[in-house]
Structure 1
Amino acid sequence: MLNSSRNIALACALSALAGYVDGIGFIHLGGLFVSFMSGNSTRMGVSLADGHWQDAAQALGLIALFVIGAALGSLIVLGRGANRQPWVLLVEAMLLAAAALADGVGFPGLAIAGIVLAMGLENAVFQIDGGAGLGLTYVTGALVKAGQLIAAALSGGARWGWMPNLLLWAALVAGSLCGALAYHWLGLAAIWFAAGAAFVISAVLALTAR
């Protein structure tokens, strides 16, 4: 899927957006994630071992919301009509905007729920024919792929085939840095910027649809 400059640019933009949102969520939730469910799963297991039932339940709730968001994104992709990417991102933008609005009127719990749903949904952008597609809100797979492609390059394969996956990782790190800085400045209201970015990316995709 990272086989064209367009897809690489889109994937990096969305990975940066996910990193931005996750940086905000990580600080706000005190160490839990809104897009990295492997981390939440580990936290859940540790909390269960320590007898911290409320922390374990919170982690499980985030995981469940993420799965629901991923399912919603897949339903959009599997719907009628071609070029579903703009629609997925439009719904993501609306969820992020609703989250920012919920926080603004004093419902931070609802805000987090909307954010997690949006992050799960984003992973459907590169879904094809009902498959799992490309993960955009977590980069463990991208790092594994980068390592494998580095090995392939050292064995005579494509010299720079690993670069797109490394760029995906770098985009998420850069986004999380910006998200953390924005949260220290604006708190959860910094999600408004993420909603705006998702709207812009959706519009660009719709206008440049092939």
Structure 2
Amino acid sequence: MISHQKSSKTLAIGLASLAGFVDALGFLNLGGVFVSFMSGNSTRFAVGVTSELPLKITLIPLGIIALFVAGVMAGRAIRHYFPKRPSTAVMVFISAALTVSSIIHGSRLTLLDLPLMAIAMGAANNVFFREGEVSVGVTYMTGTLVKLGQRLAGKLLGEKEQEWLPYFLLWMGLVAGATLGSFTYTHWGLHALWIGVALCLALTQFCAWIENK
């Protein structure tokens, strides 16, 4: 995160906001299952296995995890096949998935809306990619908070080059997006995803501008 340029940091914060927004919609619609936070779903699945919950309810988090991983795989493949502007190509895929999810919500294909959201969130983690690895995780914040804590401790200890603000802003981006997602869901339900589509399209344009510089 620290080594990225200012424009890339801004894009990362925007993507974290999008992830928080989409995750809040999915969480509220699924009654406590996430579409972008797989650690939480892993715990939900494990607890469900040892509880008296119906098997169908227990398997929902596991299904979302599988879809998320499929999205990660799709995003990685897109980067491979579109090497000139890989991040923009991934953003186009995310925008398309969220748009289709918004269109089919409430239709006969409505059962596919949340799976598409999970796939989109998995793919989002391929936007920032260096040397075969994710360089900035935008849908999960545990690592970000660990780095924030380490940098703050280094700052207090007087160590040099302990820049903590980018990590704090990345986390705040996700929190702000989730707050907006929760607020809009109470008014429009999953139709609020159109706001996420608009944000994603704007971020796609911004990403294209960065890669074209």
- Shared topology, TM-score over 0.5? yes
Root mean square deviation, CA, Å: 1.5
Q: Aligned to 2:138, what secondary structure does the other structure show?
A: coil
Contact kept? 2:21, 2:177, Cα under 8 Å: yes
Residue 2 in structure 1 maps to residue 17 in structure 2: no
Residue 40 in structure 1 maps to residue 48 in structure 2: no
Q: Give deviations 1:21-67, integer Å, cap 9, x for gaps.
A: 11111110001101000000000000000032222211100000000
Contact kept? 2:21, 2:182, Cα under 8 Å: yes
Q: Aligned to 1:138, what secondary structure does the other structure show?
A: coil
Task: Output the TM-score relative to the length of structure 2.
Answer: 0.93
Q: Aligned to 2:134, what secondary structure does the other structure show?
A: coil
Higher alpha-carbon deviation: 193-202 or 78-87: 78-87
Provide the C-alpha distance between the structure 1 equivalents of 2:2 and 2:144, rounded to a whole number of angstroms. 11
**Could you tell me which residue of structure 2 aligns to residue 204 of structure 1?**
206
**Could you tell me which residue of structure 2 aligns to residue 144 of structure 1?**
146
**Which AA in structure 2 matches 1:2?**
I
**Could you tell me which residue of structure 1 aligns to residue 193 of structure 2?**
191
Provide the C-alpha distance between the structure 1 equivalents of 2:114 and 2:173, rounded to a whole number of angstroms. 22
Structure 2: 5+ residue stretches without partners? none
Provide the C-alpha distance between the structure 1 equivalents of 2:22 and 2:112, rounded to a whole number of angstroms. 15
Question: For residues 155-170 of structure 1, what are the structure 2 equivalents within 5 Å?
Answer: 155-158=157-160, 161-170=163-172
Provide the C-alpha distance between the structure 2 equivalents of 1:2 and 1:15, rounded to a whole number of angstroms. 16
Quote the offset at 1:73 in angstroms. Answer: 0.8
Provide the C-alpha distance between the structure 2 equivalents of 1:193 and 1:143, rounded to a whole number of angstroms. 27
Provide the C-alpha distance between the structure 1 equivalents of 2:145 and 2:110, rounded to a whole number of angstroms. 33
Q: Give deviations 1:151-174, integer Å, cap 9, x for gaps.
A: 221222346511111111111111
- Identity, in percent, stands at 36
C-alpha distance 63-49 of structure 1, shift in aligned 2 (>3 A): same
Structure 1: 5+ residue stretches without partners? none
Contact kept? 1:19, 1:174, Cα under 8 Å: yes
Higher alpha-carbon deviation: 141-150 or 197-206: 197-206
C-alpha distance 201-47 of structure 1, shift in aligned 2 (>3 A): same
**Could you tell me which residue of structure 2 aligns to residue 23 of structure 1?**
24
2:92 corresponds to which of 84, 90, 95: 90
Quote the offset at 1:183 in angstroms. Answer: 0.8
Provide the C-alpha distance between the structure 2 equivalents of 1:79 and 1:148, rounded to a whole number of angstroms. 37
Provide the C-alpha distance between the structure 1 equivalents of 2:11 and 2:64, rounded to a whole number of angstroms. 26
Task: Output the TM-score relative to the length of structure 1.
Answer: 0.94
Contact kept? 1:70, 1:123, Cα under 8 Å: yes
Contact kept? 1:34, 1:62, Cα under 8 Å: yes
Provide the C-alpha distance between the structure 2 equivalents of 1:45 and 1:115, rounded to a whole number of angstroms. 23
**Could you tell me which residue of structure 1 aligns to residue 113 of structure 2?**
111
Q: Give deviations 1:163-193, integer Å, cap 9, x for gaps.
A: 1111111111110000011111111111111
Q: Aligned to 1:161, what secondary structure does the other structure show?
A: coil
Give the total of aligned pairs.
210
Contact kept? 2:23, 2:34, Cα under 8 Å: yes
